[in-house]
Amino acid sequence: MVQLENVGFVRKRPGGEQAVILDGVSFCACPSNITGIVGPSGSGKSTLIRLINRLDDPSTGTISLNGDDISTVDPLLLRRKVAMVLQKPFMFEGTVLSNLQRPFLYRNLLPPPAGSDEVVRVISLVRLSPDMLEREARSLSGGEQQRVNLARALISHPEVLLLDEPTSALDRPATDSLATTLREICCREQLVIIIVTHDLRLAERAADYLIYLEQGMIIEEGGVSEMLAVPRTVALQRFLAKPDKEEE
């Protein structure tokens, strides 16, 4: 379980004055659940998930993973437990298989071959065909590359998967299909999944619990379908009427 308690993040502007990026953010994200974090561009979504794998550290408050304050955990060890998938899939030159073997090379471990349990497990989780393993990773479609990206994150058995705008480079069918796959993965692996997105369609299809962020603060949270059907705050009503399209 990932727990944030009263998390704040302040950034110093070049002029010296302080900008409050996140303010008093508290929530819990549980295993086998997908938490969606939505909000307009600049509301602090990316900053928030960067704090969860210590790409940045909060200015105030605490973040814990299964009860342990993550500020006491070595960032490299933490990132094995807390994997991050970014907007644009990054493919190393070489085959899909060699991309999946990368995390093992970094740790001086023997890379698992194509038929190994590790490789079979992740390509089945992300629904890629085994024939893909010998393909040049950079020649795949955007949706396929995002699946390889996801498989590479899952091969190290993380406990938490953070995704930052994972579908912004994908078309609608690929987005819907990734949402379904994420739901399957979440159930099968009992992972904590947190998805940051301005894409309401992805949030609606993938998430169980939704958090609406604006100007670094949680404005509203609850079950996805209730929140999208009956928003309680004017802020969320406005966002739903005119969602942020800037990054699309």
Q: Is residue 132 within 8 Å of 140, Cβ to Cβ? A: yes
Q: Which residues bind ligand ADP (CB under 6 A)?
A: 11, 21, 39, 41-47
**DSSP-based helix, strand, coil % in the chain, nearest 5:** 40, 25, 35
User: Considering beta carbons, is residue 181 or 197 the nearer one to Mg ion?
Assistant: 197
d(CA 53, CA 48): 10
Three-state secondary-structure class, residue 40: coil
Q: Which does 224 bind (CB under 5 to 8 A by kind): Mg ion, ligand ADP, none?
A: none
Q: How far is the CB of 41 from Mg ion (least distance, A)?
A: 7
User: Considering beta carbons, is residue 39 or 103 the nearer one to ligand ADP?
Assistant: 39
Q: Which does 44 bind (CB under 5 to 8 A by kind): ligand ADP, Mg ion, none?
A: ligand ADP
Three-state secondary-structure class, residue 197: strand
User: Considering beta carbons, is residue 15 or 67 the nearer one to ligand ADP?
Assistant: 15
Three-state secondary-structure class, residue 149: helix
Binding test (CB under 5 A) with Mg ion, winner from 3, 33, 46, 197 = 46
User: Considering beta carbons, is residue 3 or 46 the nearer one to Mg ion?
Assistant: 46
User: Considering beta carbons, is residue 140 or 196 the nearer one to Mg ion?
Assistant: 196
Q: How far is the CB of 227 from ligand ADP (least distance, A)?
A: 18
Residue linked to tokens 């970094």 = 106
Residue 3 structure tokens? 């727990």
Q: How far is the CB of 152 from ligand ADP (least distance, A)?
A: 23
Q: How far is the CB of 52 from Mg ion (least distance, A)?
A: 14
Q: How far is the CB of 12 from ligand ADP (least distance, A)?
A: 9
Name the site residues for Mg ion (rule: CB under 5 A): 45-46
